Structure 1
Amino acid sequence: MILRTTRRRRASLALVAGVAALGLALTGCSSSGASGSGSSTEADTLIAYTGQSGDYQLNFNPYSPTKIGGLGTIYESLFFVTNVNTEDYVPLLATEYTWNEDGTQLDVTLRDGVTWSDGEAFDADDVVFTFQLLLDTPALNTSGFNGAVTKVDATHVTLTFPEPAFVTGPELLGKTFIVPEHIWKDIDPAADVNAEPVGTGPYVLSNFKPQAFTLTANEDYWDGAPAVTNIRYLSLSGNTAGADALAAGNIDWQTGPVPDIANVSKNYPGYEAITIPQNQMALLTCSNAELGCEGPQTDPAVREAIYYALNRDQLNSLAFQNTASEMSPTFALLPAQEQFISDAIEEKVVPTAPDLDKVDEILTGAGYEKGADGLYAKDGVELKLTVEVVTGWTDYITAIDTMAQQLKAAGIGVTAAQSSWNEWTEKKGKGTYQLAIDSLGQGAASDPYYLYNNFFSSANTAPVGETAPVNVARFSDPAVDAALAVLKQTSPDDIEARQAQFDIIQAAIVANLPYIPILTGGTTSEYNAEKFTGWPTADDLYAFPAVWASPDNAQIFKALKPAGE
């Protein structure tokens, strides 16, 4: 038997330490919002600004693409698993797990004595119900769970698989949020917004309004009520409003750009900042005409031309305060995952300067001709595109404005379309967009498999008009799907066998560019170190310190204490 509960390697934090003093490039959850204000004067209340744009839409369904919160705070997984370190999984609803030798059976021991927030007892029936719910509702099953789940007794369950499934461990153990059978058996899990959530987590929903909602400590939490009694989420009007609220002391934690971001502690007394190079910024494209995407971005030549037309050094300077870092077109995170980049990839890092001759070669080779106004056209239609961005995300808006000038010089017309976070999210999910600026997160663990499975698997996309769970580019390639299937069955210790599959996936990614790489964004959070202690640091990176990153944010909420306690 292979015991995987403890004794995992400690991650090297040298990279984080090296960038901790940097500022933010941005992330896909930059900053934004509608309106609202708060006071962070109450010692046990943390005011959080996640970058919400427009009113919050009530939705605490942990499996909904448009959920607004609750992962880790209201609903818990079996373990806490993060992708910023390789520490042991932190026990939550489970206390230990064991794989058999060939990775086809996973035995899990559950925590005894846990209750749901409505007072009902939690046990193995809820875990079995949740995993069966994924099997019965494919739209929710973004982890690709294809096994069987069996109750052994009240505190033990067994998951079995038709083939080795080691690689699914982080998703199943750390990203599958357990729901109460006694409530969820009577609802539509794909459509219900879960307005009155019942969970096992450290917080319960206290009140909800479109401009703000509050989570309050669960006094009956199995690990004891957290010291931070209330978490209040605000909606503001954008990055500028977030910086203003920070300066006024009206928020305690935000993730987003502020002026002179390298000097947060000087400019915002009592606050500190931490930067993690984690999310890879890209121009997302609705790329697949076979699934209903429309527009010139469905042509791979157009996507490649945009890739080579960008002046990334200028973007870094003007939009990201020189805090972004290099990126691989394979989407293997640099430098942490550079060992996974295929030897067959000639250009392992995205170019920092534009190559207009190459742009011309690509577009003319695809049948485009440059008109008198300097724009390329094909079949009488000029090459013009719209980029979707959230109102108030000033860093992304600046990036688009800068890219528009760069692309115009290259003969490609680009216009920004600003909308609320809700509208932006719906356009991406439904495929009713041409381009959108966002970033691709790392998935369940620090391994490129998880990003590839999330964003490039046919199982995680859908035809235009239907909501794609993750793969909003609508990318679909049988060879990539087959490689992902092999990776799912391959032991993480078989480096050579895994690399052969990474080679296949990366070749397809670089050839098709459904997500056009920009740069790796340094995700910076500013936090009230004077009011609360226990924040993650470069030396103790126990969770990804982005306020919008769930369930990592919940792990941080639990670790914080009001100063002086």
Structure 2
Amino acid sequence: MSLLTGMSRRAATLAGAAALGLVLTGCSGGTTSAGSEATLVAYTGQSGDYQINFNPFSPSRIGGLGATYETLFFVNKAKVSDLVPLLGTQQSWNTDGTVLSVTLRDGVTWSDGQPFTAKDVAFTFGLLKSNAAINNIGFDGTATAVDDTHVTFTFKAPAFVKGPDLLGTVPIVPEHLWKTINPTQDVVEKPIGTGAYLIGEFKPQAFTYAANPKYWGGEPKVKKIRFVALSGNQAGADGIAAGTVDWFTGPIPDIKNTKKNFPKYDAYTQWQNQMVLATCSSVQMGCKGPQTDPAVRHALYAALNRTQLNKLAFQDTASAISPAFTLTPSQDQFASAALTEKVAPMAAEPQKTAQSLEQAGWVKGADGIYAKGGQRLSLTVEVVTGWTDYITAIDTMASQAKAAGIDLQAAQSSWNEWTEKKGSGNFQLVIDSLGQGPAPDPFYLYTYFFDSNTGAKVGKSAGNNFSRYTNPEVDAALDKLAALPLDDQAARQPYFDTIQQAVVRDMPYVPVLTGGTTSVWSTAKFSGWPSDQDLYAFPAVWSSLDAAEIFKRLKPQS
């Protein structure tokens, strides 16, 4: 049984992600003239200097995933499509979904010259299973090297839904080096991988990828890629205007007229990742603050004027969002019939804000802000310095929230500090996006962000469930879904119903908008970018696995 059986029969097309912001300075080197030796300059939203870390399992890694460390297959999350073979060439499930067999590519070597074999794959998955902090996919099976080019994954129960994550998101690492590395703590300075690019020069202001001349797929046409650390979105927009940035996923002025304003560039927008105000939600897990009250979360949800927010912060590039996080409209078929609201209101509903708070015992004070038990309803939103679109979004939401009786403030910090706060639970609210996972199905978002197994007590490092949401009914429904084929919607829907009703009721992540991810890239210097006609990868420079595929497809313009 094929991994994606039934998925190609669903016409749901996914796209884009929340624009986070990117930039460039001249101090770290711009592009060379167009031609075969052109350097592609990219910016991923890094605010402040880079701190060297190429550990692919680390949440603070700065690069290497996809380009240096490859997965078994590439799963295109931008649209329903077949798996793209990488280190794996063939895969199939047994009939009951308990054994996944994978054939590996023969003749592949690590960049230090050692042979790549099935033992490396088995070792990698054993590493995940024995280290919960890096096991974001919840791998609980057994990986066995049958011989050098065949590996099997065995599970105690049907595990069809684990296929896309297992095959398309786990970076394979070399056993001969990683058997002495602590994957949760060690910083890897000189990564050894099988990918198309090697890590070249590193400086705090920039690091480079250099084409791997011995890559199994052939040396890529783009010989050098430089990632730069900058101050924020404005620097990225300035880099586009100056012609010194080649790929920038983030906002620039008048983005809809990019090609007219900057003839050597074009812009492309996709919609996929769903923007949220994520809360540290669970008192049981150690969260503290007004946001631990579901009534407060619902009040904030109702206070937002999403039409105004889209216009002021995102140049109308965002779109509607479902409170149940079924991507609309492409996943509407998964939305529970019991939901009273399948799409978040675009206008503010102040009466609902007041009702939510007052029924929970909050009383509006003389300053117009609600309070309860001597605690003023004041909330802080963590955001990365330089993410101008998100900062503008918080400012806009703060004005809207104040009108509804909620005090909302922004706290800016470096990307590293922001990541640490989010992972450790040291926050009240974080503005971020929930990714859709490796396949066009809401199961993956739910299992990533709502499964208690990927959360942690405040002070300990959480996986994707950084809101620390815990709900035994949701966990049980996810377990049931994990045992069902992806194409059996009739059997799966009752469990989706359970999850969605809990998600909407508890609202640990306050839905904002579905972000339109817009990339601006140089068409004068490079060809082969994704398009509507050939959407072979999700086009965002910070989506590492997708970016790696794009780098391999690009060609310098002569």
Asked if Structure 1 and Structure 2 have the same fold, meaning a TM-score greater than 0.5 normalized by the shorter chain, the answer is yes
Which residue, 365, 383, 386 being the options, matches 2:377?
383
1:258 aligns with 2:252: yes
Secondary structure at 2:544 match in 1: coil
1:30 aligns with 2:29: no
Contact 1:282–1:440 (8 Å) recurs in 2: yes
Secondary structure at 2:521 match in 1: strand
Q: Aligned partners of 1:466 and 1:459: how far apart in 2? A: 13
Q: Which amino acid aligns with 1:563?
A: Q
Q: Aligned partners of 1:52 and 1:512: how far apart in 2? A: 33
Q: How does 1:360-439 map to 2 (within 5 A)?
A: 360-439=354-433
1:79 positional shift: 0.6
Q: How does 1:439-478 map to 2 (within 5 A)?
A: 439-478=433-472
1:353 positional shift: 1.1
CA-to-partner distance for each residue in 1:54-98, whole Å, 9 max, x for gaps?
A: 111211111111111111100001111121122111111111011
CA-to-partner distance for each residue in 1:150-199, whole Å, 9 max, x for gaps?
A: 11111111111111111000111111111000000011111111111000
Which residue, 168, 171, 185 being the options, matches 2:179?
185
Q: Aligned partners of 1:424 and 1:383: how far apart in 2? A: 23
Q: Aligned partners of 2:13 and 2:486: how far apart in 1? A: 24
CA-to-partner distance for each residue in 1:361-420, whole Å, 9 max, x for gaps?
A: 111111111111111111112111111111111111111111111111111111111111
Contact 1:28–1:440 (8 Å) recurs in 2: no
Rate the CA distance shift 1:116–1:482 in 2: closer, same or farther, 3 A.
same
Structure 2 equivalent of residue 52 of structure 1? 46
1:498 aligns with 2:492: yes
Structure 1 equivalent of residue 311 of structure 2? 317
1:436 positional shift: 1.2
CA-to-partner distance for each residue in 1:26-63, whole Å, 9 max, x for gaps?
A: 72633368995431124331100111111112111111
1:481 positional shift: 0.6
Secondary structure at 2:54 match in 1: coil
Q: Which amino acid aligns with 2:54?
A: F
1:358 positional shift: 1.5
Q: Aligned partners of 1:340 and 1:210: how far apart in 2? A: 45
Contact 2:6–2:487 (8 Å) recurs in 1: no
Structure 2 equivalent of residue 40 of structure 1? 31
Q: Which amino acid aligns with 1:210?
A: P
Contact 2:14–2:79 (8 Å) recurs in 1: no
Rate the CA distance shift 1:349–1:13 in 2: closer, same or farther, 3 A.
closer
Q: Which amino acid aligns with 2:499?
A: I
Q: Aligned partners of 1:11 and 1:48: how far apart in 2? A: 34
Contact 1:282–1:518 (8 Å) recurs in 2: yes
Q: Aligned partners of 1:184 and 1:295: how far apart in 2? A: 41
Structure 1 equivalent of residue 110 of structure 2? 116
Structure 2 equivalent of residue 149 of structure 1? 143
Q: Aligned partners of 2:27 and 2:342: how far apart in 1? A: 44
Question: How many pairs does the alignment contain?
Answer: 555
Secondary structure at 1:291 match in 2: coil
Secondary structure at 2:307 match in 1: helix
Q: Aligned partners of 1:507 and 1:190: how far apart in 2? A: 35
Which residue, 55, 60, 82 being the options, matches 1:88?
82
Structure 2 equivalent of residue 327 of structure 1? 321
Contact 1:5–1:98 (8 Å) recurs in 2: no
Rate the CA distance shift 1:487–1:532 in 2: closer, same or farther, 3 A.
same
Rate the CA distance shift 1:6–1:505 in 2: closer, same or farther, 3 A.
closer
Which residue, 282, 286, 310 being the options, matches 2:280?
286
Contact 1:330–1:341 (8 Å) recurs in 2: yes
Structure 2 equivalent of residue 19 of structure 1? none
Contact 2:451–2:465 (8 Å) recurs in 1: yes
Which residue, 80, 104, 121 being the options, matches 2:98?
104
Q: Which amino acid aligns with 1:460?
A: T
Secondary structure at 2:515 match in 1: strand
Contact 1:35–1:236 (8 Å) recurs in 2: no
5+ unaligned residues in a row in structure 2: which ranges? Answer: none
Q: Aligned partners of 1:287 and 1:334: how far apart in 2? A: 25
Q: Which amino acid aligns with 1:366?
A: A
1:65 aligns with 2:59: yes
Q: Aligned partners of 1:517 and 1:6: how far apart in 2? A: 31
Q: Aligned partners of 1:152 and 1:253: how far apart in 2? A: 42
Q: Aligned partners of 2:5 and 2:281: how far apart in 1? A: 42
CA-to-partner distance for each residue in 1:198-246, whole Å, 9 max, x for gaps?
A: 0000001101111110010111111111000011001111111100001
Contact 1:407–1:413 (8 Å) recurs in 2: yes
CA RMSD between the two structures: 1.7
Q: How does 1:153-168 map to 2 (within 5 A)?
A: 153-168=147-162
Structure 1 residues 232-241 or 131-140, which shifts more?
A: 131-140
Secondary structure at 1:176 match in 2: coil
1:238 aligns with 2:227: no
Contact 1:35–1:211 (8 Å) recurs in 2: no
CA-to-partner distance for each residue in 1:410-439, whole Å, 9 max, x for gaps?
A: 111111111111111111111111111111
Q: Aligned partners of 2:472 and 2:123: how far apart in 1? A: 32
CA-to-partner distance for each residue in 1:475-512, whole Å, 9 max, x for gaps?
A: 11111111111111111121111111111110111001
Rate the CA distance shift 1:225–1:15 in 2: closer, same or farther, 3 A.
closer
1:3 positional shift: 3.8
Which residue, 154, 161, 164 being the options, matches 1:170?
164
CA-to-partner distance for each residue in 1:272-319, whole Å, 9 max, x for gaps?
A: 111001111111111111111111001111001001011111101111
Structure 1 equivalent of residue 510 of structure 2? 516
Contact 1:56–1:210 (8 Å) recurs in 2: yes
Rate the CA distance shift 1:514–1:168 in 2: closer, same or farther, 3 A.
same
Structure 1 equivalent of residue 349 of structure 2? 355
Contact 1:46–1:232 (8 Å) recurs in 2: yes
Q: TM-score, normalised by structure 2?
A: 0.97
1:148 positional shift: 1.1
Q: Aligned partners of 2:281 and 2:25: how far apart in 1? A: 31
Q: Aligned partners of 1:558 and 1:344: how far apart in 2? A: 45
**Identity percentage of aligned residues:** 59
Q: TM-score, normalised by structure 1?
A: 0.96
1:5 positional shift: 8.0
5+ unaligned residues in a row in structure 1: which ranges? Answer: 17-23
Q: Aligned partners of 1:447 and 1:177: how far apart in 2? A: 22
Contact 1:377–1:383 (8 Å) recurs in 2: yes
Q: Aligned partners of 2:239 and 2:23: how far apart in 1? A: 12
Structure 2 equivalent of residue 9 of structure 1? 8
Q: Aligned partners of 1:390 and 1:317: how far apart in 2? A: 21
Structure 1 equivalent of residue 263 of structure 2? 269
1:536 positional shift: 0.4
Q: Aligned partners of 2:456 and 2:245: how far apart in 1? A: 38
